Amino acid sequence: MRPFEGIRVIDVTHVLAGPFAAYQLAVLGADVIKVEHPDEPDQSRGAGTDKALNRRNMGTAFLTQASNKRSIALDLKTEADCEVLKKLVVTADIFVENYRPGAFEALGLGYAALSALNPRLIYASFSAFGQNGPRGPQTAYDHVIQATSGIMAMTGTEEVHPIKFGAPAIDYATGMTGAFALAAALFQRERTGRGQRIDMAMLDVAMILMSSHLTGYLRNGVEPKPNGNRHLHATNSAYPTRDGLLMLGASNLRQQRRLWTALERPDMIKRSNDEREQDRTGEAALLTEILRSRTAQEWEEFFQARHVPAARVRTMAEAVADPQLSSRGIIHRHEGSAGIDGGFGVPLAAFTFAHGGPRIDFGPPTLGQHNEAIRAELGLAAVRLEAEPA
């Protein structure tokens, strides 16, 4: 039995952070019902690397986080469909939305209204800046939050900055944090019997992602600088090799001792981090000279065999081809799914359980694919979309 079997989640979210949070519960057994507008569905349906799928409202951005979810199409600006949603809420454990703060209250679907229908309901709102504060009404995406939070200013090199992350890491971190918050609220409800209101803000998550830098700034006012691949310690930085970049991770004193011993330069071993900082320029110059003598793969194998963290810098294609990934089961391969020709792969989860762990049972839904089934469960007459598959 998976952790969230028997738990029903109403997922009225779009794009990335909210859907990704609900997806974490879905792969762990929750019955996640995705609610979308029939004419304006989740915008991620039209985004991704496969243009043909984008045109079918099954873009790869949507496929990433939609497995194990059922879909119902509702126009929440109509009274009839609002009533359908309320009937769903009565049967639910969790309600997740990520629209502009105040939008659901204006529809009569705010926390006060829905918790009156279901006092055990856990109601989570995801937004850019939170439900209150001077920025509360503002909207943003991942890259806008990167700019707002200061995380972008500390990313890049001394010559080229600010630079945003290559991946929408704040969105994904917000989704993971949100899933943790939902799980914690469910656990709390088991003890108290009461529902909960969760306020998730992307800006808050961005600040948490910089926790050590934030603490340092709050202590002495030192702002983090963009250092690129250059770390404070030379043995913890990236260097060119014969054919590519190698990232060294000899972070602590024991590891730097192993590194210099392996390179037959015991004279470079330092007794303290202060000594390492004072001789950073000399260490970096020597490492640059030495590491050009072999390929990045050869150095990776050399250092790892001696318990010194190191890795050649890989592309995504190389990372996916690494046998380590297939041994972990992090990627699920769909042989096919409704609305999609051919197979495709999606990320599953970043952890495994000894039993009852994350699993994908069925593929991402087409828009409104489960209209009839969900309405039947609620004792309602079927209403079909014209585009709904038979």
- Report helix, strand and coil shares of the chain as percent, to nearest 5: 40, 15, 45
Q: Indicate the burial class of 92 (C-beta count within 10 angstroms; 0-12, 13-18, 19 or more).
A: buried
CA atoms of 146 and 136, how far apart (whole Å): 17
What pLDDT does 381 receive? 81
What per-residue confidence (pLDDT) applies to 371? 97
The predicted structure's pLDDT at residue 235? 98
Which residue type does 317 have? A
With a cut of 70, list the residues of the chain below it in pLDDT.
Answer: 383-390
pLDDT tens digits along 166-207: 999 999 999 999 999 999 999 999 999 999 999 999 999 999
Q: Domains along the chain?
A: 8-209+329-377 (3.40.50.10540), 234-317 (3.30.1540.10)
Supply the pTM of this predicted model.
0.94
CA contacts within 13 A on the Cβ side of 156: 14
Instruction: Return d(Cα 6, Cα 149) in angstroms, integer.
Output: 38
Q: Which helix (H) or strand (E) holds 125?
A: strand 122-127
C-alpha to C-alpha distance for 390 and 111, rounded to whole angstroms: 36
Spot the catalytic one: 171, 267, 274, 341: 171
**Is 171 marked active-site?**
yes
